[in-house]
Structure 1
């Protein structure tokens, strides 16, 4: 599939150099394996690697002042976003809109692994539980 969504001549590079940062260390214990704040890359997104092997567990109810996008890479999760309940599996993407409390749990069986994309150069969060 070939895409031609815009004319490249209409975009002027802003001068930022390419950047690299390590997202996670596979030997690190706990559900949060690591994060890269957008500030480290001069970018407007922060990325977290989250995973757990225990069905029924997940992050506490929390809220952000910006959108968060969850990409389920492995396993199955139940997301609680405001009043909505959304079941998602590997390959699914879920939106947590700015200002809407959310959390998720591993539905099992096995490992849940997500990439959590914060549309902010910094991870800003208020836990509600």
Structure 2
């Protein structure tokens, strides 16, 4: 649900109607208000979850709020943990697998829509 304040500020409420930040998993693209980014909110308690190798023609930023994930970024393997921010440059192949305690993060795509090239 989208609400627009008198100032033009936009408030987007959870599709599931909850009013907390827990277990929030949604994709947002073409956000109103000229945000210029798209978002993936990811929350899982599963180990080993994550996308296959892919890249985007723009940078992707991961803000890790809980748990961990092992990222493959180009030829590097990086363990990202709660409290860290990982920025993957444009056109860089990447994927991740969630850690044993799960994973919660905000993925910010520096583009108003998702443009993904799947490599595997």
Q: TM-score, normalised by structure 2?
A: 0.79
1:17 corresponding residue in structure 2: 8
More strand by share: 2
Separation in structure 2 between the aligned mates of residue 23 and residue 45 of structure 1, nearest angstrom: 18
1:116 corresponding residue in structure 2: 107
Q: Between Structure 1 and Structure 2, how many residues are aligned?
A: 110
Separation in structure 1 between the aligned mates of residue 102 and residue 47 of structure 2, nearest angstrom: 8
1:8 corresponding residue in structure 2: none
What are the ranges of 5 or more consecutive residues in structure 1 without an aligned counterpart? 1-15
1:51 aligns with 2:43: yes
Separation in structure 2 between the aligned mates of residue 48 and residue 102 of structure 1, nearest angstrom: 15
CA contact (8 A) 2:8 2:33 kept: no
Change (3 A) 1:47 1:120: same
Post-superposition Cα deviations, 1:11-42, rounded to whole Å, max 9, x if no partner, equal xxxxx921122466488xxx992122244332
Q: TM-score, normalised by structure 1?
A: 0.74
**Could you tell me how far 1:93 is from its partner in structure 2?**
0.6
Bigger CA radius of gyration = 1
More helix by share: 1
Separation in structure 1 between the aligned mates of residue 17 and residue 80 of structure 2, nearest angstrom: 24
Separation in structure 2 between the aligned mates of residue 85 and residue 26 of structure 1, nearest angstrom: 37
Change (3 A) 1:41 1:60: farther
Residue of 101, 111, 116 corresponding to 2:93? 101
- For 1:50, what is the secondary structure of its paired residue? strand
What are the ranges of 5 or more consecutive residues in structure 2 without an aligned counterpart? 1-6
